[in-house]
């Protein structure tokens, strides 16, 4: 497929054809995973970050003007997503380095104390129930793919074997499942 083919697929995606985006994912997924792997050494984590880059790309696609090749644009999104992931991971690891004896003096101590308020627990339960209902409402192939990945912790390759389909199809199904759950969850967040 050429850049012209990419432009035709992008036009179809902008018209609402999700399968056209699936074809773009299949075309570029290995290159993006390899790119992200330069920043993130854990293969499973790199796949998740690549998946996140494709989600961001899909959401931003209406703004793609075509001033550059699609892959160039996707490349920048993937690099930025990988860098943001590393920054986020560094923040998370530094947030949890508090000595137990200093917990009361820790500036985030109120979060430690207030985390289990009735309101917080109710909202958490509502979010959990909404996610579960959204997953239950998905078509079988999407529900199975997202469940294997998120609940069972299976790799994309393991899911592909279990579902007897290519890894690209698994990625596409997980992408579509996450997108559907996000759409339903958005009002609660």
Q: What is the pLDDT of residues 87-144, one digit of tens each?
A: 877 776 655 554 545 444 444 444 444 455 566 556 666 777 777 788 888 899 998 8
Which of 88, 79, 94 has the alpha carbon at shortest distance from 39?
A: 79
How far apart CA 174 and CA 150 sit, in angstroms, is 9
Distances (CA, A) of 86 to 54, 68, 78, 80, 139: 17, 27, 12, 10, 33
In this predicted model, what pLDDT tens digit does every residue of 63-92 receive, in sequence order? 888 888 888 899 999 999 988 888 877 776
């Amino acid at each position: 497929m050429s850049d012209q083919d990419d432009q035709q697929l992008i036009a179809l995606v902008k018209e609402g054809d999700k399968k056209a985006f699936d074809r773009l994912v299949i075309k570029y997924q290995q290159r993006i995973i390899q790119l992200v792997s330069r920043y993130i050494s854990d293969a499973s984590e790199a796949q998740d970050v690549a998946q996140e880059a494709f989600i961001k790309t899909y959401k931003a696609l209406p703004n793609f003007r075509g001033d550059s090749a699609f892959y160039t644009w996707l490349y920048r999104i993937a690099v930025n997503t990988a860098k943001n992931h590393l920054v986020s991971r560094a923040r998370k690891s530094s947030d949890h380095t508090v000595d137990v004896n200093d917990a009361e003096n820790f500036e985030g101590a109120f979060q430690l104390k207030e985390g289990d308020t009735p309101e917080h627990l109710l909202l958490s339960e509502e979010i959990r129930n909404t996610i579960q209902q959204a997953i239950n409402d998905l078509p079988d192939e999407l529900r199975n793919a997202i469940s294997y990945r998120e609940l069972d912790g299976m790799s994309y390759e393991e899911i592909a074997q279990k579902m007897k389909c290519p890894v690209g199809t698994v990625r596409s199904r997980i992408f579509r499942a996450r997108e559907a759950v996000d759409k339903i969850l958005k009002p609660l967040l």
